[in-house]
Amino acid sequence: MLTLNRYQLKKWGHYMPHLYDNEKTIDWKSPKRGATRLVYRKVYDKAHDLHLHLKPKIKRSCGEDSKEYQYILDVINFCEQQGIVRFEQELKSEFLQRQGLNYWGLMKEADIMKLQDEFLKLDEQLKVTAIDYESIAEALIRVGVCNNTRSANITAMHAMDWKAGRIFNGSERSYKTHRARLRKIGLDIAIPFKEDRHCLTIVKRKEAIIVNKSPEIPTWYKMPSHLRLVA
């Protein structure tokens, strides 16, 4: 499932990134006014957008058993599998007037494409933030060493004491129990703690961001046919 909150985005000019509550859309707005006066930019999860808006319309007009409805489901599944996101820009009237782009036929397409190309380079500003950390107690429960929070917390306290420099009595039964538990997650309290070698924060999961700007279009996909060249 694609969630855009995993990407730490930089501000665009003086506009700040705003993540929607559903974590499917990010746009850029003025931190003071909460809106945009010149250019409105947003990036959103395309599969979610199709599921929310187009899918219900096709279902009502064509029915669930129609080939049109099945086609939409295929497109949604493809977008989900590929992680397709849509980049949109709305150039406001004031911006078009400032740039001399408000008269069709008296402006060059290259001027618009320059703005679009700059926007599409947004992924170059992405940073990997999809790293999940867990506490020692959480790790002990996850691997099955402890079956309840209380016992996991007691063992975790031994790890904290170990970090603080406590010298344990190796003959104590409780020490042996907690040491055996901690070794299951890669910590050995029999070895003196060293800041440059040991860490009590455990990384559970990491994800890398791979950007593919040209995904392979499936053979069953129907290209738009309503666009025509004009003189």
Residue-wise pLDDT for 99-128, tens only, equals: 888 887 777 778 788 888 888 777 665 554
Model confidence at 206, pLDDT cuts 50, 70, 90, reads low
End-to-end CA distance of the chain: 44
Q: Are 17 and 26 in contact (CB under 8 A)?
A: yes
pLDDT band at 34 (very low <50, low <70, confident <90, very high): low
- Which tokens belong to 12? 């665009």
pTM: 0.58
* CA 116 distance to own-chain centroid: 22
Higher pLDDT residue, 224 or 226? 224
85 has a pLDDT exceeding 50: yes
DSSP code of residue 217: P
Question: Which pairing describes strands 85-91 and 131-134: parallel, antiparallel, or unpaired?
Answer: unpaired
**8 Å CB contact between 141 and 151:** no
Q: Are 42 and 25 in contact (CB under 8 A)?
A: yes
Residues in the chain, total = 231
Rounded percentage of the chain residues whose pLDDT exceeds 90: 24
